[in-house]
Structures are given as structure tokens and as C-alpha cells.
Chains A and B, each alone.
Chain A
Amino acid sequence: MESSVSDFIYLACIVLFIVGLKKLSHPDTARNGNLVAATGMGIAILVAIFYPMEGATNNYTWIAGGLVLGSAGGYIAAKKVQMTAMPEMVSLFNGLGGACAMLISIVEFYNYPAQQDLLNGQAITTLFALFVGSITFTGSLIAFGKLQGFLRDSLVLPFPTVVNMVLLLVIVGSGVYITLLPQLNFNFIIILLILSLVYGVTFVTPIGGGDMPVVISLLNSFSGIGATLAGLIYNNQVMVVGGIIVGASGTILTILMCKAMNRSLFNVIIGGFGGGGSSAVDSGEQVVKEATYADLAIQLKYSQKVIIVPGYGLAVAQAQHACHELEELMEKEGVTVKYAIHPVAGRMPGHMNVLLAEADVPYPKLLDLEDANKEFPSTDVILVIGANDVVNPAANDDPGSPIYGMPILEVELAKNVIVLKRSMSAGYAGIENQLFFGEKTRMLFGDAKKSLNKLIEETSAA
């Protein structure tokens, strides 16, 4: 095959990527779009395998082995993973792409001509690929660990901002130093690699909880940039364009998430959630009112409109199916049931939508932030299931609160608020929620799934 023909097929693959992603952004065409992008990837890989290359040893056995093993692993993992664990899966996959970019740069430096300096585009690009690939790798692993619950959100390194700043400066400094050396010293590459890997850890560790959707989409964007940089090393257009499209779209999504929280990206990255700021609400003497299942069942049955506000607690308890069951039960009794979805509810962008889709909740029942707030005043009962910070009124009226200014679901506009929650512990932001002590609020403590099942029992009996 001529190399120009191969390059032309690469172009076709790029078009398939773009068309695929474009289709992915509309509900009707999304599934098809995913297939289109996958087809593009399949063709691109075939072209890469058979691209005419002078003096290539090919080593096809190694390639075939890697492709088969990776495909099998990816396929099995993707089929087995539970919908609730989707954020973990996505961040793990992200990390793998980053790791590949990292490995490529290591090998490129390993093979680098001994007598040559690094003051050229190729070598500098490889340095960047090494850096971005490494932080994507360890950063994603930390994000994965946090989402899995291996790593506590409360795990904080001392002076994260200072440590990160210093580390970043050291990395940039040694990068410049390596570049200016008369010839490559591979030991320095290893040092830079280790520093970058450590930076990935220290960069993601302080970010947690409610900021997780931002981190995941940021890491997604990094993995795209890593692919682009690796593509620049080989002057390979399909890698460059494919990678940068992911990088750019990931960045847009990251900004979108930040906007939903009314915070800047910078603030998310360096801030974490501080110790609650000056928000000095003394809640020690306030008491919460507990709801009983029997009363609540009757109340639900005789309501006209009920809105459910799901949060990460719903995902943890795997309560999406129970939730849908309760919804159907109430609908049968003539109650209108809808869902209010906050843009950053859960641990990744759109997390709640995926869960509810899994439980077969019809798409038109999902309200976004604005529509939900409009409907709340005419709502009889709001069920807050495992959500906390996204319904915290402090965002509206406590300027000292770390989440002040974040648009929230104003559940207090409704006539009654029922909060299903495991315990009185604070949300991921680590701040008190005055909603729980509110006039209209009653609490239902316990695991969301168990509580919902009990509620279903009582409602069908009532």
C-alpha cells in the first residue's frame, strides 16, 4: 500500500471520529455515533499496522498479542462493570491511555541518539508527552481509588497548594535543564518521570467529593492531550487530531462543570474544599424531625406532585431500581412523579441520568436545574435521596460558606421535604446543611435502598 493512500485513509478515520462525536451529542443519534467513532478507530489501527515503513521489523506477533489481550480485557471490564461504578471505570480507562503515552515517551528517550542534545521540537514534545502521560496515569489512579472508596476524601497532604506549586516548578526547572544539556542523560528522564508521577498523585489527592466530576473530565482532557503529543512525536495526523478533539471537548466539559458549581477551574484545582470558612452556624442544639414510614407512605399516596432529587447516595446504595419502583407505584395512585437533576449530582457529569436510564426511568421525567426550581413551588413532597450539597441553602444565603454562589435545587420552595440519608454526617463539602433542620424537612435515616423498599411496602399496603 502506498503511504499516500494510507494517509488518505487516516483522513477518513479523522472524519469518522468527528462525525461520531458530533452524533454522540444528540440523544437520537448517540449510539450510532459511538459505532461510527469505533469504526474509525478500527480502521486507523489497521492502517497503523500495515502502513508502509522503511526498515520496519514489524514484530507483528507482539502487536497482535497486545491488541488481543487489551481488547479482551477492555471488553470484559466494560461488560461486567455496574452502572453505578461508571465514574471509576471511565477514570481507570483514562489512566491507561495516559500510561501508554508515558511508555511511548520513555522508549523514545531510551532510543534517543546518544550524542544529540534535546533542543529540538521532537525531543521537547516527547518531554511534554512524558509529563502529561504520567500525571494522567497516576492522577486517574488516585481518582479511581477515591471513587472506589480505597482512598478517603479526607486524606489530605500537608500544604497541598505549596507542595503542588513547588513540585510543578521543580518539574519545569528540570525539564528546561534537561533540554539545555549538551546531550541526553537518561537518568534525568527517569527523575522527571518519577516527579511527574508524584505530581499526578499530589495534584488529584486534595480534590475530592463534589469536585470529582470536574477532575474526571479534566483528566479525560489530559489523556487526549497526551495522545496528541505522542502523535506529534510520530508526525501522525490521526493521533494528533483524535487526541486534540478529546482534549478540547474535555476542556469544554470541565468548564461546564465548573460553571455548574459557580467556581473557577483554578479554584477547584488549588482549593479543594477548605475547612468550612467563616461559616459559623451553630447547629449543636438544633433538632431534626424524623419521618415514619407509615405516615410518609400515606402522604405520598395523597400527593399530587412528587419530585425526587437523587444524589451520590443513590448510586452508592444502588437504589435506582427501588427508586423507579416507588415512582411507578405512586404514578399508579395518580401522583405525578418527576426527577430533579443537578448538573454536578453524583461523581461524574451526567452520572444520575445514566443511573436512572438504567432503571428505565423515562427521559421526559428528568428535569434540569432551572425547570426543577420552577416546578418546586407547586410540589407537595420532595424526596431528597442521597443528595446533600446540591440542595444546601447555604449556597444562597451564607456568604461564608465554601459553596456560596453555587446554583442549587431550591427544595425548600416545596410544601414538604423528605431527606433520605444514611446519617447526619456532612456532605462531601464537609459543611452543615441547614435544610435538615428546616421547618418543612423530615429525615428518613438509613441506607437509601432499604428505606425505599420499606417505603414501597408501606405505600402498597396503605
Chain B
Amino acid sequence: MEPVIQFITENLTMIYILTLAIFLGMEVISNVPAVLHTPLMSGANAVSGVVVIGAIILIRQAAADDYLVLSLGFLGIVLAMTNVVGGYTVTDRMLYMFRKKKK
């Protein structure tokens, strides 16, 4: 029990943020028209690439000669960055098609 209470005490703000953000996430995409399901999903997918920040922090803390950690972190950045840039680009491409024929 002790570690649990300690964890809660130490991370109370984060727990608050997390809980509220869950509701926010559900609220933000409610009532999305079916046309936008795919772009919304790939846009959200790009946002989840925010995990790239974790890999950046990891590399910044790594010893300059710890090549195993550096390589794994490097791989992490490459993968997550592909997710970020690819996600936004592909979403933009899709949405461009929607816009084109609205006139």
C-alpha cells in the first residue's frame, strides 16, 4: 500500500491532468461526421507520434559513448518521426481532396 500512496502523492497533478484529458479527448471528437473518420484518425495518429519527445529526452541523457542506448534512441526517433511527419502529410493530402470539390 505504501508505494501506491507515495506514487499518488508524488504525481497528483499528473493524475489530475490525465483524468481531465481523457474527458477532453472524448469530447473533442464527439459528433464527427463519417466523412472525416479517416482523416481524423490519421491526424490523431500523428499526434500520438508525440512519443518522439521521449526518445529525444532519452538520447539527451545518454552517455556520449553508450552506443547501445544511443542507437536504440536513434531508432526510436526515426520511427516516431516517421509517424509524425507521415501522419500529418497523409492527412493533409486527404483533406486537400475534400476541399477541392467544395466550390
User: What is the minimal beta-carbon distance from A356 to any residue of chain B, in angstroms?
Assistant: 9
B residues lining the A interface (CB < 8 Å): 3, 6-7, 10-11, 14, 17-18, 21-26, 28-64, 68-70, 72-102
Fill in one digit per residue for A15-41: 1 if any B CB lies within 8 Å of its CB, else 0: 001101110111100110111011001
Given contacts A100-B54, A363-B102, is CB(A357)–CB(B21) below 8 Å? no
Q: With both chains docked as a complex, state the minimum distance between the C-beta of A80 and any C-beta of chain B, in angstroms.
A: 10
The 7 A-B residue pairs with the shortest CB-CB distance in the complex, in nearest-first order:
A70-B81, A248-B25, A66-B77, A350-B37, A74-B86, A121-B7, A349-B37
Q: Is A241 an interface residue (CB 8 A)?
A: yes
Q: A239 near B: Cβ within 8 Å?
A: yes
Complex: A21 Cα to B45 Cα, angstroms: 11
Measured CA separation A405–B59 after assembly (Å) = 52
Chain B residues near A45 (CB, 8 Å)? Answer: 52-53, 56, 84
Complex contact B72–A107 (CB within 8 A): yes
In the docked arrangement, what's the CA distance between A244 and B25, Å? 7
Contacts of A253 in B (CB 8 A): 29, 32, 37, 40-41
- Nearest-CB distance from A337 to chain B (Å)? 15
Q: How many residues of A contact B (CB 8 A)?
A: 112
Extra contacts besides A93-B45, A94-B48 (14): CB < 8 Å: A24-B43, A25-B28, A34-B95, A56-B61, A62-B77, A69-B78, A231-B50, A245-B21, A247-B48, A249-B29, A253-B40, A357-B98, A363-B98, A368-B34
CB within 8 Å for A71 and B85 given contacts A242-B48, A244-B25: yes
B49 contact set on A, CB distance < 8 A: 41, 93, 96-97, 100, 227
Please indicate the chain A residues that have their CB under 8 angstroms from the CB of B64 in the complex.
Answer: 57, 59
With contacts A86-B38, A227-B48 taken as known, whether A362 is within 8 angstroms of B77 at the C-beta atoms is no
Structural contact, B79 and A350, CB atoms closer than 8 A = no
The smallest C-beta distance from B86 to any residue of chain A, in angstroms, reads 3
Interface members, chain A 234-264 (any B CB < 8 Å): 234-253
Whether a CB of chain B sits under 8 angstroms from the CB of A119 is: yes
Stretch at the interface among A217-225, A390-398, A414-422: A217-225
A71:B54 contact, CB within 8 angstroms: no
B24 and A110 contact, CB distance less than 8 A: no
Q: Are B28 and A81 in contact (CB under 8 A)?
A: no
Q: Mark interface residues in A85-111 (1 if CB within 8 Å of B CB, else 0).
A: 010011001101101110110111011
- Give A233's nearest chain B residue, CB to CB: B54
Contact B48 A21, beta carbon cutoff 8 Å: no
Q: Which residues of chain B come closer than 8 Å to A240, judged between CB atoms?
A: 14, 17-18, 21
Q: Measured between alpha carbons, how far is A362 from B51 in the docked complex, in Å? A: 37
Give chain A nearest CB distance to B32 CB in angstroms.
Answer: 4
Instruction: Judge if A431 is at the interface, Cβ distance under 8 Å.
Output: no
Check if A103 sits within 8 Å of B72, measured CB to CB: yes
